[in-house]
């Protein structure tokens, strides 16, 4: 099987070369071929804001797998994060990270022998990067949570839990505040969980989750989170086991999956041969298991655990009284222990009937964009329209103008808010405001409207105000599909 290979930036080429040396020592090269592709800093520097060449895209899509080192994201202007771009364009919808206490990696939590997973939705949320400047004072980022996208990551997580023997799965969320977006994520968690009755489930507000992970982390075995929250929590979880240098990462999609080290490129030590390759090795083991090489993965993992037990270490961890090894010698220390098992921690096991050959197959290239199925048949009714205004007048003066504008229309002005807080018709004189109003128009009693009437009202308001955005207010099977303002 062919696997696209992007070595990364900074320390990336060093730790990738070392990891591949270890894989060759374990016989992985008899089953897979790594195909180099050009991605990262060198591509950005040529003016390609995507961060990957067309040939790299083709190779990844033909292989269906990408093994990549850490990559640098341009600061400020220029291209977006190539790590996020790769996950999104190839719909690698689930980020899966396994956190385990490792021998010789000392943290305040080492004695707890931690072993748990974080599954993060990987495509939606604010990571869409849909941002606009709405006024002098205000910029806005749109948060997108979909039912089909949530279902994909939930199904992956529950299937992964079932395969791993995990019998407790939590959903982390902020549905107490973001009632529609996180509310949908939690709702889909509960719906998908119903298909896995052997797994106990629970939910936890994300701020409480962070506190609990520090105080009593062993109460969790797997937690599923939306994208941004999952990004933050997974890095917190990495800190419990030693940092991102010891945290593997897989990005799983239906057609293309990406396995990578998610730590930085460490340019200050690049080229010195002292970088720690453990996270990339562990990510590679997730990849080997993904394609069916479970025996190879178990042999390498046991050799790594045995080496760590024996004091084999790079300079960023371990007993300072033991000798410090460079990247290459660290890998040699692991390779020398192939065939060994650790004594102080549970060794990696091969599942019954585990394969010793590649079972995965490259994807079949679809003729067009993949379309997910969505819900249909919901009864939808327009009950109003929200308009967002670049507003230089006070809320009261703006309200007076808008009330005149909607006279004779099927709409009435019901609310003006600023940064989500009601400032008209009721509010507090202590609410600080910026130059960005939300004006809510609701359908008058007895009136029936369609989108055309709402757009006509937007046009009338736009004659006196700058309308930066508008959103229809709709009910779905009678349930309100929009939020109330704070203080409403």
pTM reported for the whole predicted model: 0.92
Kindly state whether residue 123 falls inside one of the protein's structural domains: yes
Tell whether the model's pLDDT for residue 101 goes beyond 80. Answer: yes
Asked whether 308 and 104 are in contact (CB, 8 A), the reply is yes
Number of domains in the chain: 3
**Helix count (H) and strand count (E) of the chain?**
13, 18
pLDDT band at 364 (very low <50, low <70, confident <90, very high): confident
Tell whether the model's pLDDT for residue 78 goes beyond 70. Answer: no
pLDDT band at 86 (very low <50, low <70, confident <90, very high): very high
CA 354 from centre of chain = 30
Q: Do the strands 257-261 and 380-390 form a parallel or antiparallel pair, or are they unpaired?
A: unpaired
Please report which helix (H) or strand (E) contains residue 157, including its range: helix 147-164
Average pLDDT score over residue span 448-455: 96
Q: Do the strands 139-141 and 222-225 form a parallel or antiparallel pair, or are they unpaired?
A: unpaired
Average pLDDT score over residue span 332-350: 94
Q: Do the strands 466-476 and 380-390 form a parallel or antiparallel pair, or are they unpaired?
A: antiparallel
Kindly state whether residue 321 falls inside one of the protein's structural domains: yes
Parent domain of 224: 115-240
Indicate whether 252 and 370 sit together in one domain. yes
Tell whether the model's pLDDT for residue 77 goes beyond 70. Answer: no
d(CA 226, CA 371): 21
Indicate whether 281 and 360 sit together in one domain. yes
Q: Do the strands 115-121 and 2-6 form a parallel or antiparallel pair, or are they unpaired?
A: unpaired
Indicate whether 228 and 119 sit together in one domain. yes
Indicate whether 368 and 472 sit together in one domain. no
Summarize pLDDT for 188-240 with one digit per residue, the tens: 999 999 999 999 999 999 999 999 999 999 999 999 999 999 999 999 999 99
Indicate whether 64 and 170 sit together in one domain. no
Closest CA to 22 of 261, 366, 329, 358: 329
Kindly state whether residue 486 falls inside one of the protein's structural domains: no
Kindly state whether residue 100 falls inside one of the protein's structural domains: no
List of residues 6+ apart from 400 with CB closer than 8 A: none
pLDDT band at 76 (very low <50, low <70, confident <90, very high): low
Indicate whether 137 and 188 sit together in one domain. yes
Average pLDDT score over residue span 354-359: 77
d(CA 188, CA 195): 12
Say which CATH number the domain at 404 has.
3.30.70.1570
Indicate whether 223 and 153 sit together in one domain. yes
Strands (E), 337-462: 380-390, 411-418, 421-424, 436-443
Domain C-terminal end among 375, 390, 406: 375
Indicate whether 386 and 312 sit together in one domain. no
Kindly state whether residue 273 falls inside one of the protein's structural domains: yes
Say which CATH number the domain at 207 has.
3.40.718.10
Closest CA to 101 of 307, 346, 350, 294: 346
Average pLDDT score over residue span 268-273: 96
Concatenated DSSP letters of 49-97: TTSB-HHHHHHHHHHSEEEE---PPPSSSSPPPHHHHHHHHTT--EEEE
Distances (CA, A) of 284 to 15, 54, 251: 12, 25, 12
Indicate whether 228 and 314 sit together in one domain. no
Tell whether the model's pLDDT for residue 88 goes beyond 80. Answer: yes
Helices within 247-344 (DSSP H only): 278-291, 294-309, 327-335
Which of 13-22, 39-48, 74-83, 317-326 tops mean pLDDT? 13-22
Q: Which residue has the higher pLDDT, 27 or 81?
A: 27
Asked whether 263 and 242 are in contact (CB, 8 A), the reply is no
Tell whether the model's pLDDT for residue 311 goes beyond 70. Answer: yes
Closest CA to 134 of 450, 434, 409, 485: 434
According to the model, what pLDDT value does residue 53 have? 94
Distances (CA, A) of 305 to 96, 116, 203, 302, 338: 21, 17, 33, 5, 10
Indicate whether 157 and 230 sit together in one domain. yes
Indicate whether 415 and 342 sit together in one domain. no
Asked whether 480 and 381 are in contact (CB, 8 A), the reply is no
Summarize pLDDT for 462-481 with one digit per residue, the tens: 999 999 999 999 999 999 99
Domain C-terminal end among 375, 409, 428: 375
Q: Which residue has the higher pLDDT, 371 or 421?
A: 421
Domain C-terminal end among 330, 347, 375: 375
Kindly state whether residue 99 falls inside one of the protein's structural domains: no
pLDDT band at 375 (very low <50, low <70, confident <90, very high): low
According to the model, what pLDDT value does residue 226 have? 98
List of residues 6+ apart from 169 with CB closer than 8 A: 157, 158, 161, 193, 199, 200, 201, 202, 221, 222, 223, 224
Summarize pLDDT for 140-166 with one digit per residue, the tens: 999 999 999 999 999 999 999 999 999
Within 10 angstroms of residue 319's Cβ, the number of other Cβ atoms is 10
List of residues 6+ apart from 164 with CB closer than 8 A: 117
Closest CA to 158 of 194, 203, 122: 194
Strands (E), 229-361: 248-252, 257-261
Average pLDDT score over residue span 362-382: 80
Q: What is the residue-averaged pLDDT of the chain?
A: 94
Average pLDDT score over residue span 316-320: 76
Quote the percentage of the chain above a pLDDT of 70.
97
pLDDT band at 49 (very low <50, low <70, confident <90, very high): confident
Kindly state whether residue 9 falls inside one of the protein's structural domains: yes
Summarize pLDDT for 110-141 with one digit per residue, the tens: 999 999 999 999 999 998 889 999 999 999 99
Kindly state whether residue 485 falls inside one of the protein's structural domains: no
According to the model, what pLDDT value does residue 387 have? 98
According to the model, what pLDDT value does residue 318 have? 67
Closest CA to 9 of 78, 97, 81: 81
Asked whether 71 and 12 are in contact (CB, 8 A), the reply is yes
Indicate whether 126 and 234 sit together in one domain. yes
According to the model, what pLDDT value does residue 164 have? 93
């Amino acid at each position: 099987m062919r696997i696209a290979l992007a070595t990364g930036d900074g320390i990336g080429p060093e730790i990738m070369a070392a990891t591949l040396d270890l894989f060759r020592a374990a016989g992985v090269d008899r089953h897979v071929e790594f195909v180099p592709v050009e991605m990262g800093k060198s591509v950005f520097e040529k003016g390609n804001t995507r961060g990957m060449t067309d040939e790299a895209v083709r190779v990844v899509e033909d292989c269906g797998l990408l093994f990549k080192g850490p990559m640098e994201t341009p600061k400020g202007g220029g291209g977006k994060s190539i790590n996020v771009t790769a996950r999104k364009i190839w719909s690698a919808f689930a980020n899966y990270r396994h956190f385990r206490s490792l021998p010789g990696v000392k943290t305040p939590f080492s004695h707890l022998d931690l072993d748990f997973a974080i599954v993060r939705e990987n495509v939606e949320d604010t990571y869409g990067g849909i941002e606009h400047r709405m006024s002098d004072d205000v910029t806005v980022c749109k948060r997108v949570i979909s039912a089909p996208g949530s279902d994909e990551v939930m199904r992956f997580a529950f299937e992964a839990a079932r395969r791993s023997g995990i019998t407790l799965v939590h959903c982390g969320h902020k549905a107490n505040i973001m009632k529609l977006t996180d509310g949908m994520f939690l709702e889909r968690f509960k719906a998908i969980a119903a298909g896995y009755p052997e797994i106990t489930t629970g939910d936890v507000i994300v701020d409480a989750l962070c506190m609990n992970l520090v105080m009593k982390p062993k109460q969790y075995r797997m937690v599923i989170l939306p994208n941004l929250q999952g990004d933050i929590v997974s890095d917190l979880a990495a800190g419990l086991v030693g940092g991102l240098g010891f945290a593997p990462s897989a990005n799983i999609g239906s057609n293309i999956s990406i396995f990578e080290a998610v730590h930085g490129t460490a340019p200050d030590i690049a080229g010195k041969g002292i970088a720690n390759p453990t996270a990339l090795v562990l990510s590679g083991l997730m990849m080997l298991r993904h394609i069916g090489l479970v025996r190879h993965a178990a042999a390498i993992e046991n050799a790594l655990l045995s080496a760590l037990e024996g004091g084999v270490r790079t300079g960023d961890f371990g007993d300072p009284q033991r000798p410090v090894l460079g990247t290459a010698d660290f890998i040699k220390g692991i390779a020398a222990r192939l065939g060994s098992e650790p004594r102080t921690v549970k060794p990696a096991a091969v599942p019954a009937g585990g394969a010793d050959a590649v079972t995965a197959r490259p994807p079949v290239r679809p003729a067009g964009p993949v379309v997910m199925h969505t819900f249909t048949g919901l009864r939808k009714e327009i009950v109003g329209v929200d308009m967002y205004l670049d507003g230089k007048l006070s809320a009261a003066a703006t309200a007076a103008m808008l009330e005149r504008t909607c006279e004779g229309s099927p709409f009435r002005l019901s609310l003006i808010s600023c940064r989500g807080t009601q400032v008209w018709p009721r509010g507090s004189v202590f609410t600080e405001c910026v130059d960005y109003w939300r004006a809510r128009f609701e359908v008058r009693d007895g009136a029936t409207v369609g989108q055309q009437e709402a757009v006509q009202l937007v046009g009338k308001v736009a004659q006196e105000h700058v309308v930066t955005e508008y959103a229809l207010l709709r009910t779905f099977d009678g349930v309100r599909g929009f939020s109330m303002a704070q203080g409403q």
